[in-house]
Amino acid sequence: MKIFIGLGNPGKQYEKTRHNIGFEAIDFLADKWNIPLDQAKHKGIYGTGVIKGEKVLLLKPLTYMNLSGESIAAVLNFYKADVSDIVILYDDLDLPVGKIRLRQKGSAGGHNGIKSTIAHVGTQEFNRIRIGIGRPVGRIPVVDYVLGRFSQEDWTDLIKVIEKIAAACEDWIEKPFLKVMNDFNQ
């Protein structure tokens, strides 16, 4: 089984914010793969399906960003899945809007959702797709920036990025993550 996890915060007030780009990517995959996110368990909302002959699970933790690892660990434990079976999609301040970076391991880099994941799964070695949201300009506090919404221009660019992420996710179903990483980090 391949498990795709998008990080974000639940609730209308967080929809389409920079910090919720992981949720947006999972929603895109759910629509593309016709997998309804209609199951609530493991402190999240999720759906399962079969893509290219492989069982897949799409998960949006509902624990709020800072506790994302609780939901991820619960899913891994329930399905007896290995941490190598997951890819986490999340926002990254250090990448410009419109850029993605695939990695197999690394520190949290100040991202509380990834800090929580590392704490709950017990390793920094898991697949991830970092989605660039850029850094705030001027004196905008980081918390206000990540909880703010994208400009219309940025949102147009992000739709293309999410399509690219979906292609990377589809490739991972059939190929080793390292190969996908090399192909999409060009």
Mean pLDDT of 131-159: 91
Please give the model's pTM, rounded to 2 decimal places.
0.96
Domain residue extents for the chain? 2-184
19 assigned to active site: yes
Q: How confident is the model at residue 153 (pLDDT cuts 50, 70, 90)?
A: confident
Q: One-letter amino acid identity for 151?
A: S
So what CATH class is 2-184? alpha beta
pLDDT band at 26 (very low <50, low <70, confident <90, very high): very high
Indicate the pLDDT class of residue 151, thresholds 50, 70 and 90.
Answer: confident
Side-by-side strand order, sheet with 127-132: 39-41, 44-51, 54-61, 2-6, 86-92, 127-132, 100-103
Of 30, 39, 141, 35, give the one whose Cα is nearest residue 89: 30
Nearest-angstrom CA–CA distance, 68 and 66:
6
Tell me which of 19, 42, 111, 120 is the catalytic residue.
19
Amino acid 98: pLDDT = 86
pLDDT tens for 67-108 read 999 999 999 999 999 999 999 999 999 999 989 999 999 999
What average pLDDT does this structure show over 17-33?
Answer: 97
Provide the pLDDT for residue 163. Answer: 96
Sign for the CA dihedral angle at 54, 45, 105, 31 comes to: positive
Q: Where are the alpha helices (DSSP H) in the chain?
A: 21-33, 68-79, 112-121, 142-146, 152-174, 177-184
